[in-house]
Chains A and B, each alone.
Chain A
Amino acid sequence: MFEPFRHWYEHRHEYAREWKSRTSGKVVGCFCTYEPEEILYAAELLPLRVYGSHQPSSVTEPHVFGMYCPWTRDVLAQGLLGKYTYLNGITISQSCLHFRQCFTSWQKHVPCEFSYYLPMPHGIQSPHGRKFFTEELKKFKQALEKWVGREITTGELHEGIEVMNENRRLLTQLYELRKAEDPPLTGQEALWVVASAQMTDKRDHNQALKELLPKLVDRKLDREPGVRLMLIGSENDDVEFMEMTETLGATFVVDENCVGTRYFWGEVDSERFEDPLEAIAARYLERPACPAKDWPELSRWPHIERLARDWRVQGAVLMQQKFCDPHELDMFTVKKRLEEMGIRTLFLEFDVTTPVGQFRTRVEAFLEMLRSEDLFAEELL
């Protein structure tokens, strides 16, 4: 049932090469989740998020100081190792310092036809951010037009918006199913779906999702869901970790990270603004924020709180890429507030590779703790 998504996830490079050969189109590598993919679709380009490989690599050592996050080093390694030679262009929408470094090193050492640093504001809570970002999106659109050699029409922008919005709607429907007492899919399966959305043409992905969703309505997993877990933190496409945790009597029912809900949550509302670029700008400014952009208020928190309540989360795994300062800064408050809600937390620091054995021991202990709380609660009743 999830095979197409798993296949795309595991064979992302083959997919991209096949897409190029099928469409004669160009592929643009995206480094963060703030790139306005709508405009790339409008230009008939394929936006693909550049992921790491979870394999140790030393090729980035001469380029990146060791105190920078392993995820971005892993991503850069893919470029340096020639895994993404099919990319025609790369772009980043101003991200954390770590990703900027990864992007600028890629620009220098893995040159391609087109590269663009989009100065997206960090002040996403400022009322002036939308005007500034809309102007920058206009410049981005112009740069793309120059590259592809034609004008991007307003109609095409609306089509790009619809392709993206449809994917967001379908992914939201998928996540809604996970609210069930007995969710019809595991967290690992959900991860294959959402991660592959960022590696494929959304039109292919939408079609596959439309075929998948009806099949899930009556699906029953061959095991009890166990403890309902939420995954919170920075990037995660670690399917091995998800699988390991879910074999210990738990199910990830929802997430708040930038591969999952922070990527797809919230649609572009074309009705609100006459200019589609302004509508796109508003969506990216208003989506659940990356901690690097989340100030002065911690606007992430209401999103996390809502997900935790609505998906009836019993425990939260706080996972963070080592050296990710923005997440390290938020963890203090997120952990405190979750525990005030009665949701116990387990903090895990991730590197390029996952120490599954060590994590298993910690996850087991965490789950045992959660289960024993349930036991005592029943005894008291």
Chain B
Amino acid sequence: MKTLTKYPIEPLSCWPKAKELRAKYYQDYATARERGGLRWTGGAWAFDAIPAGLGEDVHPLTGEPYGASIAHDRKFSLECMEAAERVGFARDLCSYMRNYWGSILLNKYAFGGEFPKPDFIWQSHICCSHAKWYQVASQLEGGIPMYCVDVSVGPYESLTEGKLEYLVAQMHDGIRWLEKTTGRTYDDEKLIDAVYNECRSTSLWAEICCLNKHTPAPLDEKTMYSLYVLATLQKSSKAVADFYEELRDEVRDRVQRGIGSAEYEQCRIITDTQPPWAFLDVFRYLQNTYGCVSIGSLYTFGLCGIFEVKEDDTWGPRTTPQQKGIQIKTRDEALRILADWNLSRPEWQHFYSHELKSAMLMRMVKEWKVDGVLLHYNRGCEGLSLGIAENKLALQKAGIPVTPFEGNMGDWRDFDRTRTLARVEAFMESLRVERIEPSMQGA
């Protein structure tokens, strides 16, 4: 009879701090004006290090995690989506965006009270919906000043000086625009600190993801969702960078002591993109029923984690400017580093070719010792679903077990839980992963 290895598990001691940081972020945004501060909104990929130069009392609300927070609350999410649909927006548009617009239209903030109107919009654009999201948001709010940096210059492997300069020139203009729009004097020292923080936080997150190469995985993906999100909120904040340092130390300690994320780890999988936020219990079901641990995804790793290929040809955290001993002295140097750093983000690469995404998924399968891949055909996000069918074909061709499931990250009406469970159960069978029975549970 098969006996499973039972791994010790324990809760993360820094977990309450992660929750506290997230709650404070949303509270700070809502109450910024009461303290004489400013509010801005934009995407999770916006260069938040740049508005940081306006002062410490300038608080962001990043749209994607806000849309995901709404998605987790099915009742409010339905109200938001229906509000957006009532004024004429199509149901197949980005579901984060529709949740966000609905929140404006209903004038209800997901964390209580009225929707806090931003003072300005600060965005970057790689997906077709990015700038358009806030073009509409500005209109719905009666006209909010908006600035957006075009980052769609092609994959990092083909970066040239001209492409980098295109971004940096837009960033310089953006700073002048921020000064004019807010009436504030820009502080380059604050920008430089924010750039250091962003490089530190996003490299640390990549390092944390790399610790999951160990068996048992010290973190499971459902837990990671609550941790990676901090970088999507404000990757350039010192608090986030400091937290990731603490988290990295704790996860490293878990690896050294053999602490797992689940008692049984029969099977390791990865996913590719955003999950259906209203149905995260699917991950717990897989874990508890099959000992199947999702150890991450290109999304959780590469949305904000910045990696580089190390000498042994494996992925590791990108070496930060401070680790290289680079002293940033000027605004231009800070912006150049910021542009280059962001352009190497894994999740930006596959906007140009499905082959780049397939290669990254295959790398993860190999280095993280993965048994199979779950691909979310996500009706809520055309950007990260781009090329997904080709990814499936490429993984299959490489002999990697893969199964797709269809859903929507932010619109629960598009997700069929029963069918999805049936599909993942069939996938477990195809991987020859048996349900955990009491008789299999060792000491």
Contacts and interface: CB of A to CB of B under 8 A. Distances in A.
Contacts of B170: 123, 126, 128
Contacts of B94: 325
A104 B387 contact: yes
Given A131-B169, A332-B89, 8 more contacts: A65-B377, A97-B382, A101-B390, A136-B162, A295-B132, A296-B134, A296-B148, A325-B382
Contacts of A67: 92, 377, 379, 382, 385
B386 A100 contact: yes
Interface stretch (B19-27, B121-129, B196-204): B121-129
B135 A131 contact: no
Contact of B148 (A68, A295, A328): A295
B152 A94 contact: yes
B389 interface: yes
B351 A104 contact: no
A68 B169 CA distance: 33
B179 interface: no
Contacts of B440: none
A100 B390 CA distance: 13
Given A108-B355, A132-B163, A326-B128, A331 B389 contact: no
A86 B89 CA distance: 41
A325 B383 CA distance: 11
Interface in B334-361: 351-355
A335 interface: yes
B280 interface: no
Contacts of A332: 87-89, 136
Chain A interface residue number, banded: 35 or more
Contact of B136 (A68, A98, A329): A329
A122 B152 contact: yes
B166 interface: yes
Contact of B387 (A101, A117, A123, A322): A101
Nearest to A124: B150
Contacts of A331: 88, 90
Given A100-B386, A296-B148, A335 B88 contact: yes
Interface string B352-391: 1111000000000000000000000101001101111110
B171 to A, nearest CB: 10
Which 10 A-B pairs rank lowest in CB-CB distance, beginning with the nearest?
A123-B150, A295-B131, A132-B166, A135-B162, A329-B132, A128-B169, A328-B90, A119-B154, A296-B146, A292-B128
B272 to A, nearest CB: 12
Contacts of B90: 328, 331
Q: Which of B88, B89, B139 counts the most chain A CB atoms within 10 A?
A: B88
A163 to B, nearest CB: 28
Contact of A96 (B128, B160, B165, B169): B128
Interface string B379-412: 1001101111110010000000000000000000
20 contacts: A61-B389, A65-B377, A67-B92, A67-B382, A68-B382, A101-B390, A104-B387, A108-B355, A121-B153, A122-B150, A123-B148, A123-B150, A126-B170, A132-B153, A292-B128, A292-B132, A296-B131, A325-B93, A332-B89, A335-B88
Contacts of A153: none
In this complex, which of B139, B165, B351, B354 has the most chain A Cβ atoms within 10 angstroms of its Cβ?
A: B354
Nearest to B126: A122
Interface in A220-249: none
A82 interface: no
Contact of A62 (B92, B383, B387, B393): B393
A323 interface: yes
A154 interface: no
Given A132-B163, A335-B88, A97 B135 contact: no
Contact of A126 (B92, B150, B165, B387): B150
Contacts of A330: 132
Interface in B127-169: 127-129, 131-136, 138-139, 146-150, 152-154, 160, 162-163, 165-166, 169
B370 to A, nearest CB: 22
